[in-house]
Each structure stands twice: as C-alpha cells, then as structure tokens.
Amino acid sequence: MPELPEVEMICRMLRERILNQKVISVNVLLPRIIREGDLNTIVGSVFTRVYRQGKFICFDLDNELKMYAHLRMTGTFLWQDDLPKKPSHVRVEIEFEKGTLLYRDIRTLGGIWIAENGKPPWKKMGVDPFDDEFTSERLSEMFDKRKIAVKQALLDQSLIAGLGNIYSSEALFKANIHPGRTAGSLDINEITRLRDAIKEILTAAIEAKGTTFRDFQLSDGKEGGFQDFLSVYRKEGLLCSRCGTQIERIVQAQRSTYFCPKCQG
Ligand SMILES: [Zn+2]
C-alpha cells in the first residue's frame, strides 16, 4: 500500500512530467475511478502545481478547477513514454502536449476527484510529518489522555497524515516503544524519540525509493526489494537486527503490527 514516501515519489515524477503542460484529451476507461466531477472539464487546462497532502495528490490547474487523487492499495500514475509497453490495468489516460499520463490501479480502490470549487475530498487532514507544525509538543497534544494504542494513533489520518502500517511499525521500533502502549501513556522523551524516528524513517524511505521505485510502481503494489530496508515489518520470526530476539507480530484493530519484544518491551 502506498504510504507517504511512495506518494511523494509519484508527486516528484508528476512535477517533472506534467507541470505547465496543457491537457489535450482524456480517456476514462473505468468511470467509477472518477469519484467526483467530470474529467472532461480539465481538457484545455494547464497543470500549474502538484503537491502532497497526507496521502492525497493535489493538482492545481490554471483555472478554478482542482484535481485530487488517492492511490489506496494499488493505484499509481505512470508516464507512458517511460515504459517499454503500455501496462495492464490502466483506468484513466490524460494526454498532454508532450506525452500521456496513465492512472493504473489493479484493485481499483483508488480514485480521482475533479473539484469545480476546489474543495478537497477529505474531511479532516492531520499534520504532515514534513510540516513545521509536526513538533513533539504537537504530538504530545494529540496523544494527551488518549486510551487507544499508540500504533493505532499513528494510523489515524486525522492526527498525522500519511503514515500507514509499514512506517508506523518501523518508527515505533526505532523509538523503542511498544506498539500496544496507550498513546496517552507516552512521556515527552518518548514522544520526542517517536517524532524524530518518524521523520528519519520517512526521509530514508524517500531516498531509498529513488532507486527501486519503478519496480514498485509496475508491480502489484508489494514492496519487493524494499524489504531489506525495513527492520521489523513482515519480519515475524526473524531476529532483531539490534538484539537478536525474534520479531513478533500482533494484530491491532485488524492490522498486523511487528515489533521486537525486547527492544520495545
Ligand atoms: Zn531487539
């Protein structure tokens, strides 16, 4: 599932390919991917800015229209000219002056929104880990008196935007915090370690993605070689790189969490 680093990489690719280009035509191969509005209305518009808000990709146009996309499990954007041949599962094509952008989605859970009033499709967006507002103090306020497990709090997109199952497990390992602790029980030192760990993990993931990203985009969304970069995620039964204890898996709110019982005890 694409998390913040994957979405950030896609934004970077999109900026290189589509900024300041006019849309020539669109082709919607699977209508339900367009969740709101009419994609035909962007024909003739120029894309002026592409940026990320949590796991949403936001597109500014040179008029009052805005486009948003969420990749969910297996969505991705691909530039057709970068590929040896056209991939399977393409759901939407957007033709620009200099090439064609493809939206590919195997499980079709992702979507594209065209907002005539610019209004975003999300209700409440949490703080982005790369925003200046993402401080220990802010995290401390979010967690204050909360009875839910810290792992679940990290997945709550209305608190922190962009973290998913992989990087929340990894950040808790890096910060030596047990995933089952209640969010409200963390002291300020633990919160500071967690905040720093989240930023470090995401930054390293974005750098590591630079080399393996194409494979990820063309796969079914599984991580592939990127596994080597991870310390605990899907490493159940393997030995902790720090202390040699077996990594364990627990299920929290129907999601698997991986952790070292000793380092995070
Ligand atoms: Zn350990």
Please tell me which residue in 6, 17, 52, 55 is annotated as part of the active site: 55
Q: What is the model's pLDDT at position 226? A: 62
Question: 45 with 111, same domain?
Answer: yes
Question: 181 with 244, same domain?
Answer: yes
Please tell me which residue in 2, 5, 129, 179 is annotated as part of the active site: 2
Q: What is the model's pLDDT at position 256? A: 95
- 61: in domain: yes
Pairing of the two strands 111-115 and 75-79: unpaired
- 11: in domain: yes
User: Is 120 known to be catalytic?
Assistant: no
- 190: in domain: yes
Question: 91: domain range?
Answer: 4-115
- 246: in domain: yes
Question: 154 with 236, same domain?
Answer: yes
DSSP letters spanning 145-213:
T--SBHHHHHH-TTTBSS--HHHHHHHHHHTT--TTSBGGG--HHHHHHHHHHHHHHHHHHHHHHHHHH
Q: Please identify, among 83, 115, 147, the residue that sits at the C-terminal boundary of a domain.
A: 115
- 183: in domain: yes
List per-block mean pLDDT (blocks of 10 residues) for the chain, which spans 265 residues.
86 94 98 97 97 94 95 91 90 97 94 93 93 96 96 95 92 98 97 97 82 57 62 94 97 95 96
Taking only the tens place, the pLDDT of each residue in 188-215 is: 999 999 999 999 999 988 887 755 555 5
Please tell me which residue in 146, 199, 234, 255 is annotated as part of the active site: 255
C-alpha distances out from residue 35 to 118, 142, 230, 264, Å? 14, 31, 34, 42
- 120: in domain: no
Calculate how far, in angstroms, residue 246's C-alpha sits from the geometric centre of ligand 1.
Answer: 8
Calculate how far, in angstroms, residue 195's C-alpha sits from the geometric centre of ligand 1.
Answer: 20
CATH number, domain with residue 34: 3.20.190.10
- 225: in domain: yes
User: Is 121 known to be catalytic?
Assistant: no
User: Is 86 known to be catalytic?
Assistant: no
Q: What is the model's pLDDT at position 74? A: 87
Question: 58 with 149, same domain?
Answer: no
User: Is 55 known to be catalytic?
Assistant: yes
Tell me how many domains the chain contains. Answer: 2
